[in-house]
Amino acid sequence: MQQNKVVSISLFLLVLLAVEGWYLWQQKKVKQIIAQKLVITKRQPILLLGNSHMHFGGYTNDQTQAINLAFPSELFIFTYLKIKLLMPKTVLVALNPQHLQKNNDDALKNGLLSEPQYNYLYELLTPKTQQLLHQACPFEQWAMFRAKQWFPFLGTRLKSPVASNLLGGYKGYKSRGEVTAQDIHRRLQTVFGAYRYQLSSLQLAYLKKIVTYCSQQQIRLIFVGFPLHPSFFAKIPSKVFHQFQKTLTELKKSGSFEYWDYSQQFDEPGMFYDPDHLNKQGAKVLSNLIFTRLNHQ
């Protein structure tokens, strides 16, 4: 009986060791791919960054001088790091009023740091910035993130992450039908209502750093206000837009940038996937407008 227990435990440990070894190998492989992509992408003339709005709305498949490295829920702290690592001539960053709201910090609660690219990028942050993320991240998610650095199989399916869209990129949304009043209500509650219109100090601090750094390095910085569904736009309180304009005015003290506002660009509901994200059709039309404007300046 005792011998059977020893055999069972030994077999379990061998399987655990094999699985852990496989994931550690995959983790190393992913880091190599990300590092290579950073080298290849460095000094790309035009870089598109931001969260889901740029990820789903910045169509670059027909552009040779531009690359989209946006990723859903990306915080400005990582957008800032990507700019420093890649040093583009021009960078376009998604910026709407909702990107400054407190709910953006929920990306840490939802496991952003456990994504392979952010696990890698975290290691490139300064100790002070790492500490800042630690303070902003809920304990449970921080514990899981740190545990996965040592045991990458935790909470992960047995598959290779190499095929993932590492560092970000364009991914078009298919149209799912008409945006309903219920969709708009839910989105308003998620973006603005959950924290009662409270702004994110973390987002604001790194937005300012982005402006300062781009000015110092003579990088052309263009913030892009993405189109909002007309019914969604109409429901956003005017105080949100007033605060946003005040923020843009304050940012001018940190450096130069342009703000291209396309928030009311589309009246056609068929351009939208949901209240504030474009579908594939909308992404292609908007991106054509943006790159045409860029090429004529």
pLDDT class of 224 with cuts at 50, 70, 90: very high
SS3 label, residue 12: helix
DSSP letter at 172 equals P
Strands 272-274 and 277-278: antiparallel
**Distance, C-alpha 158 to centroid of its chain:** 25
* CB-based burial label for 213 (10 Å; 0-12, 13-18, 19+): middle
**Angstrom distance (rounded) from CA 257 to CA 214:** 8
Q: Report whether pLDDT(285) > 50.
A: yes
| Domain 2-158+165-295 annotated CATH 3.90.550.10 | no
Query: Taking the model in full, what pTM does it have?
Result: 0.90
pLDDT in tens, 42-80: 878 999 999 999 999 999 999 989 999 999 999 999 999
Instruction: Report angle CA 238, 242, 248 to the nearest 5 degrees.
Output: 145
Contact 17, 25 (CB under 8 A): no
SS3 label, residue 113: helix
SS3 label, residue 214: helix
SS3 label, residue 248: helix
Beta strands in the chain (DSSP E): 46-49, 66-68, 90-94, 220-225, 258-261, 272-274, 277-278
Alpha helices by DSSP H, listed for 51-200, are 52-57, 76-86, 106-109, 116-122, 127-136, 139-150, 181-188
**Angstrom distance (rounded) from CA 295 to CA 297:** 6
Domains of the chain by residue range: 2-158+165-295
pLDDT in tens, 98-152: 999 999 999 998 889 888 889 899 999 999 999 999 999 999 889 888 887 777 6
